[in-house]
Amino acid sequence: MKVSMILGTRPQIIKSAPVYAAFRRRGVECEIVNTGQHYDYEMNRQFFTELELPDPAADLNVGAGTPSQQVSDIIAGLGELFEKARPEIVIVPGDTNSALAAGIACVKSGVPVAHLESGCRSGDFRMAEEVNRRLLDHMSHLLLCPTSRCVANVERERVLADSIVNVGDTMYDSLLKLAPRAKASDPATGLGLSHEGYVFMTLHRAETVDDPAALRRVLGASGNLPLPVAFSVHPRTRARLKEFGIVPHPNMKVMDPLPYIETLGMVSGSRLVITDSGGLQKEAFWLGKPSLITRETTEWGEIVGAGAAILVGTDPKKIERGYAKSQKVDVARFRSAKRIFGSGNASEKVVDSVEGYLRKAGRG
């Protein structure tokens, strides 16, 4: 059996790394193809090193470009690769433009697709990711869902996959593996921040950072909170700050994108997380930290339901009120809700599901 995993962005590397390790433990041949959608070292290859992934078998180096250009380059690049060597199945994590393109390339080359992190929905069609994930689910043969709510979503939409399985969340596997090192790394002290004495913030979504008024509102309100804010700035956000001439509040420590272990270390040491990232919402939850989500919707309603995250949009009043509310959150209550995302063995379940799928399809 030969399995291929297609990835190209930071969150896809985090989702894929424990799955790659699980395949190797079972002696299954598994190769990585990097699309290069994220091309800065600290957004891509640094994560290969930290998460102990091997060099990719192929690198498409699509780099910067319009989303359409990136998607078409990835489809063409993967199509060529699949002509030379056909994997038995391709695993596609997440909902990025790389994921959509990988799904299309597989369908056009007649290779079965397993969508990892299938079924999550925000219901917000302004997000490129919402469109990508819905299309990818409909193209996929095996849907690997992280929660029971995700299973219910694809069932409700009558997605016609061969198999739908709740495997749990492979990001949780990655986090459990690296959390001890993250806690020991304590990057906040080096920045002069005290334990639980700061807010950790990331913003990168087009809906937040491409709108100058929204970006100003979030930065203004966060800067006015009573705690200092450590702000890890995504390349897209950095470009927008420059373009709009926005200077972050003096209460903020502005940082380049952090490595994965340091990011988890910053979350572990914080009092609160402010973010528009889907992944960071979950990581805060797993590390027992409340979060304010600067969006109107989330794909992880389970976390909001558990009382750990509060949707505040970009309204300064809601951010202020959300901060006050987050300081009264019962952390013990949401700690006990962690099992929503499985028990840290999602990657093993992915391998079981892929092997089972291929056996049934007569390809194993």
Strand order in the sheet with 199-203: 252-255, 229-233, 199-203, 272-275, 291-293, 309-311
> Which residues of this chain interact with ligand UD1, rule CB under 6 A?
9-11, 37-40, 43, 64, 95-97, 128-129, 204, 234-236
Q: Which of 38, 115, 141, 204 is catalytic?
A: 204
Q: Is 115 a catalytic residue?
A: no
Residue 66, CA distances (Å) to 37, 44, 97, 338, 350 in order:
11, 19, 10, 38, 33
Tell the smallest beta-carbon distance from residue 201 to ligand UD1 (Å).
Answer: 15
Query: Between residues 79 and 235, which has the closer beta carbon with respect to ligand UD1?
Result: 235
Question: Of 106, 69, 81, 70, whose CA–CA distance to 31 is shortest?
Answer: 81
Tell the smallest beta-carbon distance from residue 74 to ligand UD1 (Å).
Answer: 11
Tell the smallest beta-carbon distance from residue 138 to ligand UD1 (Å).
Answer: 18
Tell the smallest beta-carbon distance from residue 11 to ligand UD1 (Å).
Answer: 5
Tell the smallest beta-carbon distance from residue 356 to ligand UD1 (Å).
Answer: 29
Tell the smallest beta-carbon distance from residue 10 to ligand UD1 (Å).
Answer: 5
Query: Between residues 277 and 353, which has the closer beta carbon with respect to ligand UD1?
Result: 277
Query: Between residues 133 and 271, which has the closer beta carbon with respect to ligand UD1?
Result: 133
Query: Between residues 122 and 147, which has the closer beta carbon with respect to ligand UD1?
Result: 122
Radius of gyration of the chain, Cα coordinates, nearest whole angstrom:
20
Query: Between residues 48 and 321, which has the closer beta carbon with respect to ligand UD1?
Result: 48
Residues recognised as catalytic: 204
